[in-house]
Structures are given as structure tokens and as C-alpha cells.
Structure 1
Amino acid sequence: MFRRSTSEVIKLGCCNKLLHTSSTKCKNRREHPLLRTFKILRNDLQLNWRNKDEKKLLSPMNVIPQYTDIAIIGGGAVGSSIAYWLKEKTGRGLEVVVVEKDLTYRQNSTVLSVGGLRQQFSLPENIQMSLFGAEFLRTLKNRFGPDADVYFQPYGYLMLASEGNAQQLLDNSKMQKEFGAINVVLGKDALKERFPWLNVTDVEAGCLGLEKEGWFDPWSLLQLLRQGAANKGAYYVGGEVTEFSFTDQRDVLVDGVTQGTYQGIDELIFKLPSGEERSLKFAMCVLAAGAESGEVAKLCNIGTSRGILSIPLPVEKRKRYVYQYDCQVNPPILNTPMVIDYSGAYFRREGLGGRFIGGLSPLPEEEPNTNNLDVDYNFFDEKVWPLLANRVPAFNSIKVKSAWSGFYDYNTFDENGIIGPHPLFHNLFIATGFSGHGIQQAPAVGRAVAELILDGDFRTIDLTRLGFDRLIVDKPMYEVCII
């Protein structure tokens, strides 16, 4: 397959300035060159004007982007991280526009996640991304200022194994340490001595993260990434992508496509909250729309056409519940780690009192409806509580205080992120399908996608095996004994 170089694609892109546009119905109307130049100069002045007291970038009033070098669909943690790293590497020499469906983030997967950080994976790529995530959190103040904080709780993860998967736990731990993770595998007696509140009758071993593991506030990380990108010149637009424009590109050669018949994408249409439609021409586009990514991909005919386009982006919405409950009688101690039972149930402390949060991924046949974010409390009583009470006898007396639900960008192919270029559209990059691990992998994914776009290859962590091509050759990247 032949692809244009990054620099060539950018040169073939648009003039990358922010202009006002009325609607897609007028998108083909020619604008007078002098008027266009005046608008470019005016909007550049607006974008570069800063509030001297708050040192925050001021968005131009009533200005909607019409042209950009790189359009990012999705402004959650992954999309904002990509925007941040692109601007970090290029400054104001590259125009980046982020199109986010809901800038309030009320239903965004990022802010509704548990916010865990761990290196306890079985794939080298996931281990390395998590290690970089830990380093990124450690250096937040250097990047974003002395007030930057995500309230990281460094109490680690405790992954429990039954007799049947204890050896895999040992093998995983060995590989994690080879990449720089710091953890220890404890046998049944050592677990009971260290965590006397834990029932280990049916547990063979547990792996405890000693450093660089814990949990943090996802909302705070999202705001730092988003503001960091905006301060460097990235532009955020509130709108829902509804369509892509296709153009004949006769000079592009693609395997399996008759020469001279290739159609590429260079423009997206999005709907503002008011209902008005706007267009945005781009040189490159990044699909990082989280749980919506599979549906957005269909707008590019991915999964709905022939040839390579017959292969869908296998990312779906999956609803997950998080329950908050109190344990007032002999609760686990303050330095309790995030505990992952081999049954799939998990829990961790929430604050300094006897409050905890926990949950469980449902079985495939029990997947809840994704039409809303309603919480099923019966699922806790019937499925979650028995597992928690078995593992921690003190949890027999717990009482649910509140709960919430959020959407996973669930990769139905192998439950791991899809990162890299699409094999047909030379200017479309994908970063989605993280299946619950996106918040901790966002810093590394953002850096990796920026490297692909700007350098043409992965420079730090080689994520080639997580590309779209594995869908074509049917080579899933499964995690082993990991939830």
C-alpha cells in the first residue's frame, strides 16, 4: 500500500485558519481572497490574545473553525491527550481542532470512570503505556504548573488468583518487572498476614503493586489535558459529527482499489447544540470518540462497504455500574489497595472513612441496555454483594449509599485499544476501544498518535501490534487473567 508522507498530506491540506462559516449548504461558495485574508488576520489576533491576569487562552467569540490541519473527534481524556501532545510538539505551527459532542462532559466515559492506574497486565504494550501514565502523573506540576493535581492515591492494586491461574499471575508479574514495574507476589499465608480482613480460603496467590499504582481523579486529569491543549492553541468545538465528505483522489494508489477510483475523506460535518450544521475541512483526522467511535466510523463507510471497508471498527457502548457503599464495622484499613478478585469483582476505598466503591462487569448475556445511564441496584444485591462479602467478611453488613454508571468504549474483538492509521483512508487515525483502560493509557496514547502523525512512526512505545491491521489478519491481542 502507498501512503503519502505526513508532510505531504499537511501540504495538501487546507490553510489551517479559523474562519466563520454559515452552513454546509454554503460550503462550496467561493470566498473573496481579500475578505478571507482579513478574517484570518482577525481570528489570529483573537486566538493569540491572552488574559494577563489568569494567563488563560481566550476563545474568539462566535468563531467556528472551517479549516484545520488536524481534526480530532472526541474531547475526552484520549482526544484531549492527543491534542495536547500535538501542540506540545509543534507549538502554534500546527492547527488542531477538537470536536466534542458534549463539552459539559456529563456523560463522558472519562469522568465516570474509577480512575485506576496499574501495570498489572499481560501485554507489554499495556504495561509500558501504564508506566508512562504513572510518570506523566508524577511530573504534572512540571507540565501544568504548581497547582496541577489529580489527587493520586498510591495504594496499589492487589490482583487475586485461584489455584488455576496462579502460575499465570506469576508469569505476568515476572514480565511486568522486566519492564520496570514494582510488585510482589504473595502466597495465601502472606496475604492473610498482610491483609487480615481478607478471606483467602479459595485464593492461591495475589500480586500487589508496590509503586506507581493506585487511583486518581479522572475529571482533574481531563481538565489538565484539555486546558493544556487549549493554552497551546488547540481549539475545542461543541458539536456532534454527522457526516463525512468524500473526494476523488486519483493520485493515491491503494492495494485492492482500481487506480484513479480512490475516494478519500477531507471534511466532516457536525451539528451544533443549536441544531445548525457546520463543516470542517482537514488534512488529517483522528477518531477518538470513545464509546461512540464505532458509530462514527460507519459515517466513513467503515464496516458498511466492500473490501477493506467491510471490516468494522468493533467498538460498542457497554454500560458499567459503580456502587458506593459504607462499611462501619471493622472495615479494611486505610492503606487498602484496589482489590481485584479473580471472580472479576473489585473494590477500593473512597476517602478516609469507611466508604468504598466497587463493581463487577456483567456476563455477555447480562449486558444492560445502553439507551440510558440508569443504575440497576438489583445487580449489586444479586451479583456484586455476594462476591464482595465472600472476599471481605466485614462487607456482609455494607449498605449502598449511591451509584452511577458510565459507558466503556468496548472493543468486541479483543478488549484492547485500537491505535494507528486506518488501512484505506491515508489521513484517518484511530485511538479507541480501550475497554475501561483508557483513562490510565491516555497520556501514552496521546504521545503515540502525535508521533505517528508528526514523525511517521512510533518513537517511544511501539504500539504497532495494537493497530487496525490485526482486525484484518484476525490476530487478537488478548490479556490473560486480567480484567
Structure 2
Amino acid sequence: MFKIMIKTPVKVIYSKFACRSLHGSVRKCDKFENPFTRTFRVLKDDLSRKKQQLMQPTTSGVANVFPSHADIVIIGGGAVGSSIAYWLKQKTNADALKIVVVERDPTYKECSTVLSVGGLRQQFSLPENIQLSLYGAEFLRTLKKRFGPDAETNFTPHGYLVLASEEGAQQLMDNQKLQKELGAVNVLLTKEKLKERFPWMNVDNVELGCLGLEKEGWFDPWSLLQILKKGAKDLGTEYIHGDVVDFNFTARSDIMVEGTQQGSYEGINELIVQLPNGERKPIKFAYCILAAGGHSGEIAELAKIGLGPGMLSVPLPVQNRKRYVFNFKCPGIPPGINTPLTVDYSGAYFRRECLGGSFICGLSPPPEEEPIADNLEMDHSYFDEKIWPILANRVPAFESIKVTGGWSGYYDYNCFDQNGIIGPHPYYFNMYIATGFSGHGIQQAPAVGRAVAELILDGRFQTIDLSRFSFDRLIVDKPMFEIGIY
């Protein structure tokens, strides 16, 4: 293992709050500033900035006064990035931290968040994923209390139904036992009970099913994103429209890294943002959080992650992976309106979408059949060749269905083990990572935001221990795989 040794205390750069810690408490500074002088200086700066903002109104949440510095810069303003910003502000005095979120597309038209199906489930095999999604359910339950009466995500509480073959039945039982121990509410159904409860289902080659009874279902991901973003902005977070295109590096003689030469450590405390007009501007920061979804891997390379020596030789293995979601209508008598989101042991899933016999469905392809992820064009033959035969076998009423539409979106796919990477980078003491959720990000965003805020403000996880999801597992080659149901 590599170790970082700091020869002298690291002098962390804070913006206008240079005499305050991350908790807002007064600390010693290298140069004392009279409190009254500091107060008037800060007020003067704030009034000047507000005056400029009033003279140049903002549009689409994009500030016209570009910030030259921030205590914390978050790269990515989707659900995870906005949740982190919200929790950092919520856990401190709103003015104690200057937080800037850099988002490449404020319309979010290709964002993983808004193109997901908005599922919420606790039917996982890893305790961390179960706990993250349990808190996601609690967060949705208390939205109005936290954000006001207009906070609404249209949660549909019909649960998940996960099916298992004879080979996968034992794993389904093991998973369900762990889920219930951690607080999930679900029930195992035998083949006979499945047929009794869901008469529309062909259960000939199904051995067992697990049905979520509470805290599972689906919701509108766009609404959750807007709630999190508004919550962060109302507490003072600033959103910038731009692309992070580079980092500036600073030699640090006070830090030594095992495995490198003395005096060779280079830290980061500034990134470069390219604005929509092509102009490039720097932002200095004390901390940087990488939460850029499927683009996180390429941004990490700008910080030499995966391209340098020692710990920097290990890349951040997160890429965009394209997934299709198809709409179809079922003629005749379709499964009822309380039908759960049903996951066949082949991986194909379907659920109701509004009324009138409308459904959506999908299926993640095996690695060798991954579609090209450089565009969001649909391939309707994928439905005909891969998904329809599975659905028609499982639900006889689906034999004559026809596709009526659909969309494609990106997963921030972690190629290492398909689970989130959460926590500090082992080389850069001031860079944190929250990405690679591989389709689980929208339901886990509330808990991930809280967890990252705990790491930065409290120095450790306080609610859910996500230590096993750290970047370190890439270095020691210890993947955290979810065990699938077959």
C-alpha cells in the first residue's frame, strides 16, 4: 500500500472564510485579521457581488458573475452532485461554506438522472446498497417536511417483484434474509403463491419470487433532481454552466508519498472551466468532489488519475454505458394497475406506466453486446430480438404487444464491479469521488450526498459505513459485486 505523509500541517485554502474551519468555528490563521475589519470586508464583498448579480440577471440557474474561488467545487450537478451540495449546506451554517457546482448541461437532456426509470428497491445482496436505498425511501417519505408542501416526486409504492429460477432460489432467500435484518419489508412467494397473487404470470420455470411490500416502487427522477437542486441553491450553492477541461497542479514539498521521490508530490487546488462561449476560467478550491456520472473517468484523467505513477496509475473505471427503455401497449386484459416492477431472472424487467395498458421495459445487455455509447439513438430491433421473447414467455398477454416509443440513457457504469465509488482519492487529500453507481444512482443519491458531507465535515461516515466502497478497493483489487438472481 502507498502512504501519504505530511511533513508539516497542510495549510488548507479557504476563500473569504479564511479564519473558519469547515464547521464554521474560529481557528488560528497565519495572519490575524481584526474581526470587525473582517466582518465589514466580507459584507462589502457580498454587497458588491449581489449588486453585480442584480445588474446582470441570471438565467437557467447559470451565474453571470464567475466565481474565482470556492471552499468546495462539485463537478456534476445531477442528483448525486446536487445532493452532496444540499447536504454540505444543510449540515453547516448556510454561509459557512462557499460551494460551487459545475454542470456541463443545465438542461440535463442527456443526464443519467433524468433518463432513468426512477426505481427504488432494497432487493440487493450487499448491505451498503440495501442501507443506501432504505434511506432513499425515508428521504422521499419526508420530502414535504424537508422542502415544503410543493415537493413531490409522484412515488408509486407497488414494489419490486424479483423472480428466481431453481438455481437462483437459494441466493434469493439469502438476500431476503439480509434485507429484512436491515429493515426492508418484503416477502418470499413460492411458485403457487405467485400464481395465486399474479394470475397473469406464467410460472412454469420460476421457483421463487421476492415481493417488496413497503419502501419500494418508482418515482419521477426529474422532480427529485429539481428538489435537490433547489434545496442546494436556496441554501446558497452556486451553479455554473461549463465543462471542466483541466486542473492546475502545485508542487508540495511538505507532502511525501511512499513510492515516489521526495519533493515530487503535486497537489491540485485549481480547475479550469470552459464556458459555453469557449472562454476558459479558473476556480481555486480547498476541496473538489468528482460526481460527473459517466464522464467521471475522463475528468479524472485530467487530474492524472490513471496516467501517473504509484497510486495515480490506477484509473477511475467509470464510463458511459447506453441502456434502452421501451414503451409498449398491451391489448386485451393486461396485468393490473397494482402490478409491481417485475424483474425476470433473465434480467428483463417491466412495469406499468400510467393507465390504459401502457408499460415500459428494458434489459441490460451482456458485456460483449454493449451498444455504442457515443449517441442516444434507439435500436428497436433490440426489443424484438432480446426483450419481447422473454416478456411473451413470462406474461402470455404480452404475446401481441407492439413498441409505441422509448428512450435511451446512460449509466455511469463502474467497469470494475458495477457499484458506487465513494470517498477520498488516496493520492489527493482534497479530492473526493462519488460516481460509478451503474444504474442505482438516482435512488441512492440522498444517502450518498449525506455520506460525502459526513466525510468532509465530520471526518468519517456517521450514518452508513461505506468504507468498502472507497477507491482503495481498486488498488488492492477487492471488487464489491452484487450477486445476481438467476
> Normalising by structure 2, what TM-score?
0.90
Secondary structure class of the residue paired with 1:92? coil
Partner residue in 2 for 1:104: 107
Q: What is the distance in 2 between the residues matched to 1:16 and 1:387?
A: 59
Partner residue in 2 for 1:367: 370
Shift of 1:238: 0.5
Q: What is the distance in 1 between the residues matched to 2:10 and 2:329?
A: 56
* Contact 1:9 1:283 survives alignment (8 Å): no
Partner residue in 2 for 1:89: 91
Choose the corresponding residue for 1:318, options 298, 318, 321. Answer: 321
Amino acid of the residue matched to residue 279 of structure 1? P
Q: CA separation of 1:314/1:61 partners in 2, compared to 1, >3 Å: closer, same or farther?
A: closer
Q: What is the distance in 2 between the residues matched to 1:164 and 1:416?
A: 24
* Contact 1:269 1:280 survives alignment (8 Å): yes
Shift of 1:118: 0.3
Shift of 1:304: 1.1
Q: What is the distance in 1 between the residues matched to 2:356 and 2:252?
A: 62
Q: What is the distance in 1 between the residues matched to 2:266 and 2:154?
A: 47
**1:128 and 2:136 matched:** no
Shift of 1:406: 0.4
Instruction: Quote the RMSD (CA, aligned, Å).
Output: 2.2
Segments of 5+ residues of structure 2 without an aligned counterpart are 19-37
Choose the corresponding residue for 2:447, options 417, 422, 444. Answer: 444
Shift of 1:468: 0.3
Q: What is the distance in 1 between the residues matched to 2:190 and 2:264?
A: 62
Deviations 1:284-321 (A, max 9, x none): 00000000001100001111122111100010110000
* Contact 1:183 1:207 survives alignment (8 Å): yes
Choose the corresponding residue for 2:478, options 455, 475, 478. Answer: 475
* Contact 2:251 2:266 survives alignment (8 Å): yes
Q: What is the distance in 1 between the residues matched to 2:212 and 2:87?
A: 28
Choose the corresponding residue for 2:267, options 242, 264, 267. Answer: 264
Secondary structure class of the residue paired with 1:12? coil
Amino acid of the residue matched to residue 364 of structure 2? S
Q: What is the distance in 2 between the residues matched to 1:216 and 1:3?
A: 46
**1:331 and 2:331 matched:** no
Secondary structure class of the residue paired with 1:174? helix
* Contact 1:16 1:68 survives alignment (8 Å): no
Q: What is the distance in 1 between the residues matched to 2:244 and 2:153?
A: 30
Q: What is the distance in 2 between the residues matched to 1:225 and 1:73?
A: 16
Secondary structure class of the residue paired with 2:405? strand
Q: CA separation of 1:10/1:395 partners in 2, compared to 1, >3 Å: closer, same or farther?
A: farther
The alignment-based identity, stated in percent, is 64
Shift of 1:371: 1.2
* Contact 1:149 1:220 survives alignment (8 Å): yes
Choose the corresponding residue for 2:300, options 290, 297, 300. Answer: 297
Shift of 1:2: 4.2
Amino acid of the residue matched to residue 467 of structure 2? T
Partner residue in 2 for 1:426: 429
How many pairs are equivalent? 457
Deviations 1:251-301 (A, max 9, x none): 123222333221001011011111111111100000000000011000011
Q: What is the distance in 2 between the residues matched to 1:198 and 1:10?
A: 63
Deviations 1:56-102 (A, max 9, x none): 99979620111000000000000000000001011211010000010
Amino acid of the residue matched to residue 424 of structure 1? Y
Segments of 5+ residues of structure 1 without an aligned counterpart are 18-32, 50-55
Shift of 1:363: 1.5
Q: CA separation of 1:37/1:176 partners in 2, compared to 1, >3 Å: closer, same or farther?
A: closer
Superposition pairs for residues 360-439 of structure 1, below 5 Å?
Answer: 360-439=363-442
Amino acid of the residue matched to residue 89 of structure 2? K
Q: What is the distance in 1 between the residues matched to 2:53 and 2:231?
A: 15
**1:157 and 2:140 matched:** no
Amino acid of the residue matched to residue 188 of structure 2? V
**1:169 and 2:172 matched:** yes
Q: CA separation of 1:186/1:296 partners in 2, compared to 1, >3 Å: closer, same or farther?
A: same
Partner residue in 2 for 1:12: 13
Q: What is the distance in 2 between the residues matched to 1:177 and 1:44?
A: 52
Q: What is the distance in 1 between the residues matched to 2:249 and 2:185?
A: 49
Q: What is the distance in 2 between the residues matched to 1:162 and 1:482?
A: 8
Partner residue in 2 for 1:76: 78
Bigger mean CA offset, 253-262 vs 79-88? 253-262
**1:211 and 2:214 matched:** yes
Shift of 1:39: 7.5
Q: CA separation of 1:259/1:47 partners in 2, compared to 1, >3 Å: closer, same or farther?
A: farther
Superposition pairs for residues 33-44 of structure 1, below 5 Å?
Answer: 40-44=45-49
Choose the corresponding residue for 1:281, options 284, 292, 313. Answer: 284
Shift of 1:328: 2.3
Partner residue in 2 for 1:195: 198
Partner residue in 1 for 2:32: none
* Contact 2:321 2:412 survives alignment (8 Å): yes
* Contact 1:244 1:299 survives alignment (8 Å): yes
Secondary structure class of the residue paired with 1:424? coil
* Contact 2:62 2:241 survives alignment (8 Å): no
* Contact 2:100 2:239 survives alignment (8 Å): yes
**1:140 and 2:143 matched:** yes
* Contact 2:80 2:442 survives alignment (8 Å): yes
Deviations 1:308-344 (A, max 9, x none): 1110001011000000110121100010000000000
Deviations 1:127-153 (A, max 9, x none): 000000000000000111011100000
* Contact 1:160 1:205 survives alignment (8 Å): yes
Q: What is the distance in 2 between the residues matched to 1:301 and 1:235?
A: 27
Amino acid of the residue matched to residue 110 of structure 1? T
Shift of 1:226: 0.2
Bigger mean CA offset, 249-258 vs 280-289? 249-258
* Contact 2:62 2:240 survives alignment (8 Å): no
Amino acid of the residue matched to residue 67 of structure 1? H
Amino acid of the residue matched to residue 323 of structure 1? F
Bigger mean CA offset, 392-401 vs 201-210? 392-401
Bigger mean CA offset, 154-163 vs 274-283? 274-283
Deviations 1:406-460 (A, max 9, x none): 0100001000000000000000000000000000000000000000011110000
* Contact 1:157 1:337 survives alignment (8 Å): yes
Q: CA separation of 1:324/1:16 partners in 2, compared to 1, >3 Å: closer, same or farther?
A: farther
Q: What is the distance in 1 between the residues matched to 2:10 and 2:450?
A: 20
Amino acid of the residue matched to residue 478 of structure 1? F
Shift of 1:13: 3.4
Amino acid of the residue matched to residue 46 of structure 2? L
Deviations 1:36-58 (A, max 9, x none): 97982334545999xxxxxx999
